Amino acid sequence: MKILIYGAGVIGSIFAYMLKSGGNEITVLARGERLKQLRNNGIIIHDELFKKQYHTEIDVTELLSPEDYYDIVFIIMPRHQTSDILPILAKNTKIPSYLFVGNNVTGAKEYSQALGKNRILLGFGGSGGYRKDGKVISAYVEDCILYVGEIDGQISKRVQKIKKVLEESKIKVETPKSIDAWLKTHAALISALALGSKAARNKSSILGNEDQLIKKSILAFQENLKALKELKIPILPSKYKYLKNFPKKLIARKIKNLINSDFGRIVLSGHANSAQEEMKRIIDDFNQLVKDVKSSRTVNKELYSLCYK
């Protein structure tokens, strides 16, 4: 499959490496210093957990022209940057599919209006990390996963084909019943943890060392789930529905252990620290989504005031 990866950050680089290793024709679109790095050195990924290094030369470009053809374009960049590139994507009428990969609270309406709803897929890349000195620093590189779906929730032939290509490249694939609901549920969790992390940084600390902030993040997440339920947005994965039945001490312990693990340090904290603007956008977008709900938002408001005075 001929694929353009639009965005050469952590997840874009990992997916480009894995998809090329699977025999696909891959081009990465990058600009500035990242473009120079890829042209000079290719993609370099260091799995910090297993001390493994991955390297491949890669075709790069700095623009998408109206005459270019790819079977699919993966747009892998923060949500607050995607609006800027929609006019560029819209000028190309030859590309049949655009897959927007990343945190997304606002859905596909803007994309559909610009490009046509039949060309849009939504997804989320389940890997993370940060970039340093031209390298991607990550963990569990060979266990990366993509959550993907049509905006109407159908398991179309297109989704089945993409799933096959990804799995042949050793990328795990999940197809939620509603990718839009899955992304909103994910944002409910990420925004709560992002508030806790930001509040900890404001104390010159880290969330893993702040038991009270971890507890408040859990309560904020529970508030977010109640808000989604009030808006009749499905909770996906459905296991989150039962969160209220688990002892809060047990949940706090599990979250603390995850954050303080090597995986949490590399993938979760590493990404959160290097993507603070993106985290703020997720928080604000989620607050806008649930602004009219009647259920309590007390803990979210308290955390927000600790973060952004």
- pLDDT for residue 271: 63
- pLDDT for residue 272: 65
Q: What is the mean pLDDT of residues 174-184?
A: 97
Question: CB–CB of 168/1 below 8 Å?
Answer: no
Cα 159 from Cα 172, distance rounded (Å): 13
Q: Rounded to the nearest 10 degrees, what angle do helices 211-230 and 298-307 cross at?
A: 130
- pLDDT for residue 247: 79
* Ramachandran area for residue 274 (φ above 0: left; ψ -120 to 50: alpha; else beta): alpha
- pLDDT for residue 113: 97
At position 96, the amino acid (one-letter code) is P
Residue 34 has pLDDT above 70, yes or no: yes
Domain boundaries, the chain: 2-175, 181-307
pLDDT digits (tens, 9 = 90+) for 265-303: 887 776 666 678 899 999 999 999 999 999 999 999 999
- pLDDT for residue 210: 94
Residue 136 has pLDDT above 70, yes or no: yes
Cα 299 from Cα 77, distance rounded (Å): 30
The gap from C-alpha 199 to its chain's centroid, in whole angstroms, comes to 22
φ and ψ of 125, to 5 deg: -90, 115
Cα 77 from Cα 10, distance rounded (Å): 10
Residue 67 neighbours by CB distance under 10 Å: 9
- pLDDT for residue 80: 86
Cα 161 from Cα 168, distance rounded (Å): 11
* Predicted TM-score of the model (pTM): 0.94
pLDDT digits (tens, 9 = 90+) for 204-224: 998 999 999 999 999 999 999
- pLDDT for residue 226: 95
What sign results for the dihedral spanned by CA atoms 289, 291, 294, 300? positive
Look up tokens 């104390």; give the residue: 203
Nearest to 1 by CA among 64, 63, 66, 72: 72
- pLDDT for residue 274: 63
- pLDDT for residue 309: 75
Residue 245 has pLDDT above 80, yes or no: no
Q: What is the mean pLDDT of residues 68-87?
A: 95
Question: CB–CB of 235/225 below 8 Å?
Answer: yes
Q: What is the mean pLDDT of residues 61-87?
A: 96
The gap from C-alpha 43 to its chain's centroid, in whole angstroms, comes to 20
Cα 305 from Cα 195, distance rounded (Å): 10
Task: Report helix, strand or coil for 24.
Answer: coil
Task: Report helix, strand or coil for 231.
Answer: coil
Q: Which CATH architecture has domain 2-175?
A: 3-Layer(aba) Sandwich (3.40)
Report the residue count for the chain. Answer: 309
pLDDT digits (tens, 9 = 90+) for 95-120: 999 999 999 999 999 999 999 999 99
How large a percentage of the chain has pLDDT more than 70?
Answer: 98
* Residues in Cβ contact with 16 at an 8 Å cutoff, skipping those fewer than 6 apart: 5, 8, 26, 28, 43, 58
What sign results for the dihedral spanned by CA atoms 234, 280, 142, 76? positive
**Which of 133-137, 138-142, 219-223, 265-269 is the least confident region?**
265-269
